[in-house]
Chains A and B, each alone.
Chain A
Amino acid sequence: MDYLNILEEVIERPEALAAAEAPAELGRAGLAGYALGTLGIFTFLRLQSAVPPGVMSFLMVLFFVLAGNLLLAAITHLFMDLTDARGSAARLFLAFGYTDYFFTLLVPAGFFVRLGYLGAFFSCCLCLAIVLYARIGLVRKLYPVSANKAALSVGVPYAGFFTLGMFAFVYGLAWLIWLLI
């Protein structure tokens, strides 16, 4: 199986992902996207000494990436389904796998971060922005929706998690101050 051919096909004709009968190779290449993307994230984190070494450590990151993307795909699909936009949740999950190839950009970014030319947070945000942009584009191919709705459906879960995270952070901060005084 030539992943480059499949990637080429998806880049040239993203609608192939929504085809009635998608070949198994297409699915495998999507899953390979998660693996390679995670390897990129893991390498970036290792370069910053943010995660311990070892296969188990990598598998943990992979598990989080897969679980997180499954949740994001589910929420996006649910949003689409509730707004009468029909599509396949499984293909959305695979499409997200294709966008995860962009996380490989984190590896060269990790070098720039170590050299002090880039901030780690900025690199991550930049990479995430690219991935989100690619996801919005692929969502539009998988569901018959406008660009705005695709952006909303992809952004809603991120915004939700961000809000929850902020809430937990503020609560934690208040709890800490209260403990101190």
Chain B
Amino acid sequence: MEENLNNNQVPQQPEPEKAAPPAVPVPVPAHSQTKLWLRAVAVLYALSMFAAFAVISKSDAARKLKPNEMDISKLTGLMQSKKDAVGVIPLYGVITQGNSSRSWEGGSQQIAKRIKLMAEKKDVKAILLDINTPGGSVGAVQEIYSAILRAKRETKKPFVARFGEVSASGGYYVAAACDVIYAQPGTITGSIGVIFSVSNFEGLMKKVGMKNETIKSGKFKDIGSPVRDMTAEEHKLLQGLIDDSYAQFVTAVAEGRQMPLEKVKTLADGRIYSGGQALKEGLIDKLGDLQDALDAAGELGKIGKNPRVVTTSDPLENLMSLMDSKLQLFGSKAVSEAMEIEPRLEYRWYGR
């Protein structure tokens, strides 16, 4: 059969159809691979987002349940507003009127302003005066005293005074306006009284050949002059002035401490007391440190012990104060103080 096929005419076979191109495996383009990766990443991202939301919602729910697990003692803290606080106003150094252009010096106007602002704050429930001062000029001390009384009258907020190292004379005058006074056992306080001192440079001036001529409209116009001796009449007049200021001091203490005027007068001969002695005499209420005073203020303000503390610190004033204190190292303070020789009526203890 095969031979036949060979010998004979080759049987006509149907012309083969045009061969289709061989099925070569098409390489996957890089684009498709990128897309595949992107899809995988998108799916993973969606899954991780789903898982993340599950975790977040679970932890949020756990956090919401947390307060229920708190012990009872902590519930008292939750009842009060987080904002409630005790305002602390420092009163350090000699109390003077101060220079209005140097607010960082903490003159009496600045202290009075701070008392007013602090008392007006809604979150401040009580105010603590952290006092460490030997007193100061009568007018300046009374400015702070009246600021406390006004704040108490207008806001009904309790004031607590805390004595540090020294709180004598004017420092005590200010504290007398407060509801409670705390002091350390060794605090120096008291010195209830008034002082007016004037230097007399007459002898020195004669020595250096310097003379002063004064033309005055009245005989008392140059009262307290440092260039001559004081006359008996002037002395009497000044004594009257001091007696009046003394009476104001004694009245303020009697009213503030709710003590009989006569008892205050027996205590107010200018002597100083330790914190322990002052407690015995009823000049202070309790012995304790700053934390004790804060606790007392917190309880008076009905926010409990260990209250949040708000201070009157102003960053700009602090910066200016720092710069000023650095300048003082160069002697500018000593020079300016030496220039201040004018006599002053003061509620001040000079033992410091």
Separation of A175 and B60 alpha carbons in the complex (Å): 37
Chain B residue contacts of A5, Cβ below 8 A: 35
CB within 8 Å of A: which B53-93 residues: 53, 55-56, 59-60, 63
- Is the beta-carbon distance between A179 and B313 smaller than 8 angstroms? yes
- Is the beta-carbon distance between A47 and B55 smaller than 8 angstroms? yes
Chain A residue contacts of B56, Cβ below 8 A: 43, 46-47, 53
- Is the beta-carbon distance between A53 and B45 smaller than 8 angstroms? no
Interface flags for A1-27 (1: CB within 8 Å of B; 0: not) read: 000110110011000000000000000
A43-B49, A111-B51 are known contacts. Are A12 and B31 too (CB-CB below 8 A)?
yes
Q: Is B327 an interface residue, CB under 8 A from the partner?
A: no
- Is the beta-carbon distance between B45 and A4 smaller than 8 angstroms? no
Contact-size category for B: 20 to 34
Residue from B35, B39, B63, B315 with most neighbouring chain A CB atoms (10 Å): B35
Q: Is A83 an interface residue, CB under 8 A from the partner?
A: no
Q: How far is the CB of B77 from chain A (nearest CB, A)?
A: 21
Q: Which residue of B lies closest to A114 (CB)?
A: B55
Q: How far is the CB of A98 from chain B (nearest CB, A)?
A: 13
Separation of A53 and B60 alpha carbons in the complex (Å): 9
Q: Which residue of B lies closest to A36 (CB)?
A: B45
- Is the beta-carbon distance between B55 and A11 smaller than 8 angstroms? no
Chain A residue contacts of B48, Cβ below 8 A: 107-108, 111
**Could you say which of B39, B60, B318 contacts A178, with CB atoms under 8 Å apart?**
B318
- Is the beta-carbon distance between B49 and A7 smaller than 8 angstroms? no
Q: Interface majority SS on B: helix, strand, loop or mixed? A: helix
Q: Is A76 an interface residue, CB under 8 A from the partner?
A: no
A12-B30, A104-B45, A175-B315 are known contacts. Are A4 and B38 too (CB-CB below 8 A)?
yes
Contact-size category for A: 20 to 34
Q: Is B230 an interface residue, CB under 8 A from the partner?
A: no
- Is the beta-carbon distance between A4 and B30 smaller than 8 angstroms? no
Q: Is A110 an interface residue, CB under 8 A from the partner?
A: yes
Chain B residue contacts of A179, Cβ below 8 A: 313, 318
Chain A residue contacts of B38, Cβ below 8 A: 4, 7-8, 11
- Is the beta-carbon distance between B34 and A39 smaller than 8 angstroms? no
Q: Which residue of B lies closest to A2 (CB)?
A: B35
Q: Is B322 an interface residue, CB under 8 A from the partner?
A: yes
- Is the beta-carbon distance between B52 and A11 smaller than 8 angstroms? no
Separation of A43 and B250 alpha carbons in the complex (Å): 68
Q: Which residue of B lies closest to A7 (CB)?
A: B38
Chain A residue contacts of B63, Cβ below 8 A: 49
Separation of A5 and B35 alpha carbons in the complex (Å): 7
Q: Is B259 an interface residue, CB under 8 A from the partner?
A: no
- Is the beta-carbon distance between A8 and B52 smaller than 8 angstroms? no
Chain A residue contacts of B30, Cβ below 8 A: 12
Separation of A47 and B63 alpha carbons in the complex (Å): 13
Q: Which residue of B lies closest to A46 (CB)?
A: B56
Q: How far is the CB of B90 from chain A (nearest CB, A)?
A: 12
Separation of A82 and B315 alpha carbons in the complex (Å): 39
Q: How far is the CB of A37 from chain B (nearest CB, A)?
A: 11
- Is the beta-carbon distance between A107 and B45 smaller than 8 angstroms? yes
List chain B positions with a Cβ less than 8 A from chain A. Answer: 30-31, 34-35, 38-39, 42, 44-45, 48-49, 51-53, 55-56, 59-60, 63, 313, 315, 318, 322
List chain A positions with a Cβ less than 8 A from chain B. Answer: 4-5, 7-8, 11-12, 36, 39, 43, 46-47, 49, 53, 104, 107-108, 110-111, 114, 175, 178-179
Provide 30 A-B residue pairs closer than 8 Å at the C-beta atoms, listed in order of the A residue: A4-B39, A4-B42, A5-B35, A7-B38, A8-B31, A11-B34, A11-B38, A12-B30, A12-B31, A39-B49, A43-B49, A43-B52, A43-B56, A46-B52, A49-B59, A49-B63, A53-B60, A104-B45, A107-B48, A107-B49, A107-B52, A108-B44, A108-B48, A111-B48, A111-B51, A111-B52, A111-B55, A178-B322, A179-B313, A179-B318
New A-B contacts (12) at CB < 8 Å, excluding given A111-B51, A111-B55, A178-B322: A4-B42, A7-B38, A11-B34, A12-B31, A47-B56, A49-B59, A49-B63, A53-B60, A108-B44, A108-B48, A111-B48, A179-B318
Across the A-B interface, the 10 shortest Cβ-Cβ residue pairs: A107-B48, A43-B52, A8-B34, A108-B48, A8-B35, A46-B56, A4-B38, A104-B45, A107-B52, A11-B34
